[in-house]
Amino acid sequence: MNEPINSKASLDDAVMRPVESFPPGRWWLALAFTASLAAVFVVCLAVTVIGGIGTWGNNVPVAWAFGITNFVFWIGIGHAGTLISAILFLLRQPWRTAVSRFAEAMTIFAVMCAGVFPLIHTGRPWLAAYWLFPLPNQHGLWINFRSPLCWDVFAVGTYFTVSLLFWYTGLLPDLALARDRARHPLRKLVYGLLSLGWNGSARAWNHYEKAYLLFAGLSTPLVVSVHSIVSFDFAVSILPGWHTTIFPPYFVAGAIFSGFAMVCMSLIFLRRFLRLEHIITLDHLEVMNKTLVATGLMVGYGYMIEAFMAWYSGSLYERSVFLNRALGPYAWAYWIMLACNVVLPQLFWFRRIRRSPWLMLPLVIAVNVGMWFERFVIIVTSLHRDFLPSSWGMFIPTWVDLGLLVGSFGLFFTLLLLFCRLAPVIAIAEMKHSLAHRH
């Protein structure tokens, strides 16, 4: 077991060890596994571009399926990073310092994975993606700014840009530390360029704190706005099962729920592989598990209100959608969703489970499985039975659909592993500030 952090020098040594030393064999095994999954993603992406959307299982009436399900899922994963880094920073929560850097990196990589799916879902992206941007009116056609799909481009693009700047701003002092500790000239040069000439002066810290506070303030409303706008893709339609006003807060709560589960799952392995148990402690995991209980109750409340409003509306079509979800051919997905998102998280009420990494691991994995199935249930079960029984159909994923889903996880975790190897995963400057206050 590592010694507790009692000095700034011991903190520097503990956090910089994975960056400065040759990675162990298990890191290479993990990278080989995730990179192979990422290669599957690239192959399936190439098949989609060459063969078109016909290589997927999409059909009439299920025109949206795995592509949009994956998009909404990965956008949700990216919410925990901004919440931990920005909102908890503004609320001056000290426990966030040990996990904020990793959560911010997760946000960047999750949004990168998410952005691929709507781009390829349009079909022939080198032609269709052109119309998603506010370009000059060269062809006598205006962009349809009333479409939520165009709102997604602005919302997700802004969210990614601000999150990237927020993350990189926080990295500057630690990149300068890596520069000062580097022994190889090439490493010193690279980290020197990335640290933008950081010298640790009072003036530099003054500008840093102002910029960090500014980006935290900009990121805070984006946590709510981005997934609210993503929910408008469904809520502004007239399709039963989608046309509901509860979707914006319901989607935001679900995004935080799945995002915290992914952060918690990743940290369970990270703290063990990088020997950071004395920095990312059980107290941090317990606080995140408490957040999972709170947001899980919000998601469960959303399920209940959604079903109640379908009954209370008196609409035959709304009622039939929810009966079909619970009793129809995709009922298995609906009950998996309820079990993973509502029932299993209640086990976090027990302190022993909240503080045992290997007991909480299957639960946080189940939450991510359930949140993916939530998006699948919302999209597919609302589409596969149209207003006319003659238009009913079933969606069956192809190997390309499954490859894109599994491969997106491979891409995500490959980027995380590379980040853990090339940059400090702990915000050292913020941890030193907390350490000084503690002493």
Place of tokens 């011991």: 10
**pLDDT (0 to 100) of residue 27:** 82
Q: Give the model confidence (pLDDT) of 3-13 as tens digits.
A: 455 556 677 67
Q: Rounded distance, CA 291 to CA 285, Å?
A: 10
For residue 207, give the nearest of 167, 173, 160 by alpha carbon: 173
- Pick the closest to residue 129 from 113, 149, 109 (CA basis): 149
Burial call 56-94: b when 16+ CB within 10 Å, e when fewer: bbbeebbebbbbbbbbbbbbbbbbbbbbbbbbbbeeeee
- Among residues 252, 243, 193, 250, the alpha carbon closest in space to that of 221 is found at 252
- Evaluate whether 181 touches 195 at the Cβ level (below 8 Å): no
pLDDT tens digit string along 210-267?
888 888 888 888 888 888 888 888 888 888 888 888 888 888 888 889 988 998 998 8
Question: Residue 27 corresponds to which tokens in the numbers above?
Answer: 């890191």
- Residue 264 · residue 98 · CB < 8 Å: no
Which two structure tokens, joined as six digits, stand for 152?
A: 């997604």
Domain ranges, ordered by start, for the chain = 8-124+146-438
- Burial class, 176, CB count within 10 angstroms (exposed 0-12 / middle 13-18 / buried 19+): buried
pLDDT recorded at residue 91: 80
Question: 87 is written with which tokens?
Answer: 């909102």
Six token digits for residue 299: 């998601």
- The burial class, CB within 10 Å (0-12 / 13-18 / 19+), for 110 is buried
Q: Give the closest residue to 19 by CA, choosing from 112, 134, 101, 132.
A: 101
pTM: 0.90
Give the separation between CA 24 and CA 314, rounded to whole angstroms. 62
In tens digits, the chain (439 residues) has pLDDT values of: 454 555 566 776 777 777 777 667 778 888 899 999 999 999 999 999 888 888 998 988 888 889 899 999 999 898 878 888 888 888 877 778 888 888 888 989 999 999 889 888 877 777 767 666 666 566 666 667 777 887 888 888 888 988 899 899 888 888 888 888 888 888 889 988 988 888 888 888 888 888 888 888 888 888 888 888 888 888 888 888 888 888 888 888 888 899 889 989 988 888 888 888 788 888 888 988 998 999 999 999 999 998 898 888 888 888 898 899 989 899 999 999 999 999 999 999 999 998 988 899 999 999 999 999 999 999 999 898 888 888 888 899 999 999 999 999 999 999 999 998 888 888 877 777 666 555 5
Rounded to whole angstroms, the Cα distance separating 40 from 403 reads 6
